[in-house]
Amino acid sequence: MNDCSSCIVRNRAICASLTNDELTVLGKMGRRQRVKAGHTLLWEGDDAPVVANVLEGVLKLVVSASDGREQIVGVVFPSDFIGRPFGKESPYSVTAMTDAEVCIFNRNSFDDFAGEHPDLQQKLLRRTLDELDRARHWMMLLGRKSATEKVASFLLEMADRLSGQGCNADGSLNGYELPFGRQQIADILGLTIETTSRQLTRMKSDGVLALPSRREIVIRNRAAMVELAG
């Protein structure tokens, strides 16, 4: 049983609209699960018996070609929701990029619960539309943008997603720490690590950003970063 009232993503997750009594019922349905970096929670094409809220860590959504090539099609962060309510097969694999923790639910039980709570269904619909917008943006990022545009777009998105780590509301003049390294950034963007590192070094030399450590990013000139992102 989970104590949903003390959940660290309570106010940002899809269950934020539920009353305390409803949260108590939902908490009895869920369980917390630690996911080690590299572990796959859901497999592409397999029956998806669970759905989950991300509590900590970062996970990637991956689709595979018939020859084994993989493409990262999304990255999920704390408060994001993973899985397919009202569905059966998972359209992608979900693998932890860092050690993570999720609040996991049996899909059928969650579907029944969501069917009785219109506010939760509305949040699921909004989440689906947000994911559709993000998928369209991702297609543009991977298919049409140059290496410079890809890295700049990625850093701006990370500034928005990781704003709770201390950067300003506009992502500028302050820093955030990426939860993964340059090789993983390269994998996400479909670049080599050499190209990724070269782009970061050039942005640093141009004064657009600072790199206090291997994973810390400080966007010094957001307007210039936006221009680089195309």
Structure tokens at 33: 């699960």
Q: Which of 104, 119, 142 is the last residue of a domain?
A: 142
Q: 99 with 194, same domain?
A: no
Q: 22 with 126, same domain?
A: yes
31 Cα distance to chain centroid: 21
Q: 151 with 196, same domain?
A: yes
Q: Closest Cα partner for 40 from 31, 50, 26, 30? A: 50
For 149-158, write each residue's pLDDT tens digit.
Answer: 999 988 988 8
For 131-153, write each residue's pLDDT tens digit.
Answer: 777 767 766 666 678 999 999 98
Q: Closest Cα partner for 12 from 65, 63, 70, 81? A: 81
Residue range 196-214: mean pLDDT, rounded: 93
**What is the CATH number for 12?**
2.60.120.10
Structure tokens at 64: 């595979």
For 149-201, write each residue's pLDDT tens digit.
Answer: 999 988 988 888 776 544 454 444 467 888 888 888 898 888 899 999 999 99
Q: Which of 83, 109, 142 is the last residue of a domain?
A: 142
Residue range 212-218: mean pLDDT, rounded: 89
Cβ count near 120 (within 10 Å): 21
Specify whether the CB–CB gap between 123 and 14 falls below 8 A: yes
